[in-house]
Chains A and B, each alone.
Chain A
Amino acid sequence: MQDAVAGAAGEEEADTFILWVLIWSELAAFGVLIGAFLVASIVSIEEFAVARLHLTPGIAALNTLVLLTSGWQAAIAAGKGASTATRRRALVIAALLGFVFVVIKLYEYSKELRFAGEEAFQSFFELYFLLTGFHLVHVAFVGIVLLLLAWRPRPANVELATTLWHVIDLVWIVMFPILYLA
């Protein structure tokens, strides 16, 4: 009995360790891309300043609200005393808001695409689409994971998935002013 408990605890610790390795590798990857964007925006100051005027920060701010609300629901799902029904409902809402984020971002892309072909803005939009696209894929993928988890919300799995969700949220919070505003 004791061996079984110790085994389960060890397994959970290993899962958490792997999760944080994954999270730091994601943060490193996003960090490299954000760093590249910052360096390129110093090298091509005027081009980047003008290209940024073709973005729509209002839509991106709306998406920030959507993602933060989703993060709030994910935190409720991962709460220690949450019932299965609460976890399930919160995971579904978090996932659906993630999909709303994807739809809004695709709409935003449709408005920006016509400027991406202009030669002067090419390096700006290459980095912009790479960075936001990479983030968007993460939102879509983990959103699906959250939705699947809602079916059988085991607390350990919910904790792993929602931790990753918050980190994706964190990346967006940092990316948003760097890409659109500052």
Chain B
Amino acid sequence: MSEFSPNSLMRTWICLLVMVFFGMLLAREFQDPTAPLGIALALLLLALAKARLVILDFLGLRSGPRPLRLGLLAWPAFFTLAAAAKALITAVLLAA
């Protein structure tokens, strides 16, 4: 259960919206499959940052049980890392 005040939750929501808008701006550059790898990595980092805020603030795990918090943070971290590795492999193979 979230122990955050409504104002704190609103701040988190605004941070998330800013990240989504920033991601949209980056994504416009990424429509081209040959776009720089850095953009893909930046988008994945943004996703990880959004996931972190949802877990810590919306789910209220900032003050929740540590194993649960770490376990849940590990899930998006694992898949964004896997996606970054895939983006790297794709960039290398498409360039070859």
Q: Which residues of B are found within 8 Å of A112, using beta-carbon distances?
A: none
Q: Which residues of B are found within 8 Å of A182, using beta-carbon distances?
A: 40-41, 43-44, 83-84, 86-87
Q: How far is it, in angstroms, between the C-alpha of A61 and the C-alpha of B47 when the chains are bound? A: 12
CB <8 Å contact, A75 and B4: yes
Most buried by B among A41, A65, A71, A174: A174
A115 in the interface, Cβ–Cβ < 8 Å? no
Task: Tally inter-chain residue pairs, CB-CB below 8 A.
Answer: 130
Q: How far is it, in angstroms, between the C-alpha of A46 and the C-alpha of B44 when the chains are bound? A: 21
Q: Secondary structure at chain A's binding surface: helix, strand, loop or mixed? A: helix
**A81 to B: closest C-beta gap in Å:** 8
**A158 to B: closest C-beta gap in Å:** 8
Tell me which of A31-39, A102-110, A122-130 binds B: A31-39
Is the interface on chain A under 10, 10 to 19, 20 to 34, or 35 or more residues?
35 or more
CB <8 Å contact, B51 and A170: yes
Is the interface on chain B under 10, 10 to 19, 20 to 34, or 35 or more residues?
35 or more
Q: Secondary structure at chain B's binding surface: helix, strand, loop or mixed? A: helix
Residue ID in chain B nearest A90 by CB atoms? B6
CB <8 Å contact, A74 and B58: yes
Q: How far is it, in angstroms, between the C-alpha of A74 and the C-alpha of B54 when the chains are bound? A: 11
Interface of A toward B, CB cutoff 8 Å: 20, 27, 31, 34-35, 38, 41-42, 45-46, 49-50, 52-53, 57-58, 61, 64-65, 68-69, 71-72, 74-76, 78-80, 155, 159, 163, 166-167, 169-170, 173-174, 176-178, 180-182
